[in-house]
Amino acid sequence: MNRALAVLIGVCSAALLTPLVVPLFTGRVFAFNDLSWFHLPMRHLYQQALNSGDSVLWTPSIFAGYYIHGEGQIGAFHPLHQLFYRVLPLGPAFNVELITSYVAAFAGTFWFFRRLEFSRAVALFGAMLFAFSGFNLLHHHHMNMVAVVAHMPWLLAAADVLIVDERRPVRTLAVAAVALILASEFLLGFPQAVWWNVMTLAAFSLFRAQETGHWRRLVPGTAAVLIGTLMGGIQLLPTADVAAHSERVALSSDFALTYSLHPLNLVQMWSPYIFAAGAWSKVDPRWFHEFGIYSGAILPVGLIWVWIRRRALPARRRLIAAATIFAGVTLLLALGRYGVLARALSYLPIFQALRAPARYIVLVQFALTILAAITLEDLIAIVDRRSAAASRYMPGLWIPAALGIVTTLALNTGVLPYGPHTFSRAAAAAEGPAFVLAVTVLVFLAGRRVRWALGALIIVTAADLAAWGLVYVYRQPPLTIEQLTPGIPEAPADPADSYAFAPLRGPFHHDQLIMRGYRLTSGYVGLFPATVYPLDSDTTTRLSGTKWFFTPDGVRHAAQDGAERVRLLDEQGHAASGTASIVLDRPGHLVVDVVAPGRRTLALTERFYDGWLASVETVPLQMVRVEHDFLGCVVEAGAHRVSLHFMPRSFVYGSVASAIGVALVAGVLIMGIRDMTQNPASAAQKARADNQ
């Protein structure tokens, strides 16, 4: 039974992955929302910088200059990103990056469940549920967020080895594994998701330490977290730097509560298609991907099943209780302003900058996945007659199905007049309760030892996940990269003439003009820079050297008063005599020839940031702000070649921290490998004993 189910689950998982792989083989990319608005343009710049040997720290192509590495979401120093975007063309690299997250989530979850001594079939089922969960598929366009989430099961499995395994060399290697996994998360540049993983790691480690009595092993686990954090310093410190100089520092704690999960969305657990917009929000925009919390009918049905059957599952009682409590706590966090926990966190300095409490739903789904795996494990034992059959009626099991039917009849048929524009039509809404009812019936039948019900349950669950998540992924069909920028005239070859301003809303969304060679004086990122002049003000567009304006309907117009790329100013900030001509204009590296009859300020249209350094023949120059927001340096009288480089302290210090972390983890690995090779017989003997 286990082998047949494992094969079936593997086939279903491959079927769920296939639609995500198709664009790779058809020369297309997924383009929904942030994928084409932000991620693809940023990776276009990243690949250009890698191929040309330019700095990946700074780009002149958004906001007339931006510390893009500090923003973080390109994951510039993650080894896989370095590999993908150096070796592959942009489209394939982009696809492989996206696909890798789902493969990694599947493999990591499989390992995690095997560590918890689930059978191969059950571990595969849990892997399918989490890798293709509602959260991961609905957030496919938040690439690096899903990539960090994919690390969660790997982190937990490595921590389990550290806490549970009796072999000291293996535990030592597990310390290195935890550190490396956490460092990989930090390098992907989405700190909020790292927080979710670390919070889950802490809860799981406490659970396993209490279960095994190995409390002292939390000490090396804590050390592993600290080493991993050090290794991530090359990304973590620049991100902290950019965040400290972004608009978010001026926001109130209310910002942290935006995109809170309205309690009405809990109806999705038994009627996922109830809302016309997919989800409900009273205050925030009704983005389906933020408030869509469903992840298959097996999750609510499994929750009820394991609690009904808890007495028959003595080996899993603690895990059932722990997973349920964790799901409850994280659900309260997801409620945001409608609960207590997230509101309390919003008063803490770091958490004030982390919005969207609704995203804690990923932790709820992960905890419920554990309970769903226990459900399948129990059903297999019942069908194989290794466990007693379920009780005769089990009325509690039918609660979600009954609620789904009642909800559909009451709210989606118009019987009740409430919310005619809120709820979808009955025909569309009925699909959800149908899945819930089908899963409930199959669980009930499997619990009554109907063997075929198990296979049917796997297939229906896979179809349920596909109908919810993959349909959303394909709501905008994949496109070729060329199809993303139709009708946009190519930018002039001279970088100084390519500066353009475009509204965030229009036919060319956000950063898409970058794909046609423009340097934007506008832009779209996660951390908008804090400026004296508004980013869309006339002063900013003039001082940033804007040469083109794109209207909301996509028409390009020439700008008349944009500043020159380089110019000389007197001490009062007025145009002054002398000449300045740009010799080299590359990301993070500028060279300017200056002939000045007296002391002058060399002013550029590049945005100011503390990391810029200027020199003449290795003699440093004084950096100054031009009109508060733009870059300048003081030059003395004479003819000079001024060289400007971007090298912020946050990157330097972060690199040092990462180097220390790498040295520490290398030392841990050497210790573990040495102990393993010095005592191979005892290690092999212990491994054989564990497998018996």
Q: Biggest alpha carbon distance in the chain?
A: 97
pLDDT tens digits along 503-514: 876 666 678 999
Write down the residue that tokens 């508060």 correspond to.
628
Q: Is the pLDDT of residue 576 over 70?
A: yes
Within 13 Å, how many C-alpha atoms sit on residue 185's CB side?
30
What are phi and psi for residue 124, nearest 5 degrees?
A: -65, -40
pLDDT at site 687: 47
Angle at 439 between CA 434 and CA 440, to 5 degrees: 95
pLDDT at site 681: 54
Q: What is the DSSP string of 244-265?
A: HTBGGGG--GGGGGTT---GGG
pLDDT at site 680: 63
What are phi and psi for residue 362, nearest 5 degrees?
A: -60, -35
pLDDT at site 691: 43
pLDDT at site 560: 86
- 125 Cβ neighbours under 8 A, 6+ residues apart: 5, 9, 372, 373, 376, 458
CB-based contact 299:373 (threshold 8 Å): no
Name which of 552, 503, 497, 540 is nearest 519 in CA terms: 497
Q: For residues 367 and 387, what is the distance between their CA atoms, to the nearest angstrom?
A: 24
How many whole angstroms from its chain centre is CA 53? 27
Question: What is the set of domains in the chain, with CATH numbers?
Answer: 566-647 (2.60.420)
pLDDT at site 1: 66
Helical packing angle, 452-465 and 298-308, nearest 10°? 140
Average pLDDT over residues 113-135: 97
Q: Is the pLDDT of residue 282 over 90?
A: no
Q: Note every long-range contact of 15-18, with CB atoms under 8 Å and residues 24 or more positions apart, other chains counting.
A: 15/462, 15/466, 16/128, 16/131, 16/132, 16/462, 16/465, 16/466, 16/470, 17/99, 17/102, 17/103, 17/106, 17/132
Within 13 Å, how many C-alpha atoms sit on residue 27's CB side?
3
Q: Is the pLDDT of residue 578 over 90?
A: yes
Least confident of 309-313, 499-503, 508-512: 508-512
CA pseudo-torsion sign 109, 115, 119, 122: negative
Average pLDDT over residues 627-651: 96
| Band of pLDDT at residue 468, cut at 50, 70 and 90 | very high
Q: Is the pLDDT of residue 311 over 80?
A: yes
Average pLDDT over residues 517-541: 94
Kind plus residue range of the DSSP H or E element containing 532: none
Q: Is the pLDDT of residue 518 over 80?
A: yes
Q: For the chain, give the percent of residues with pLDDT over 90.
A: 84
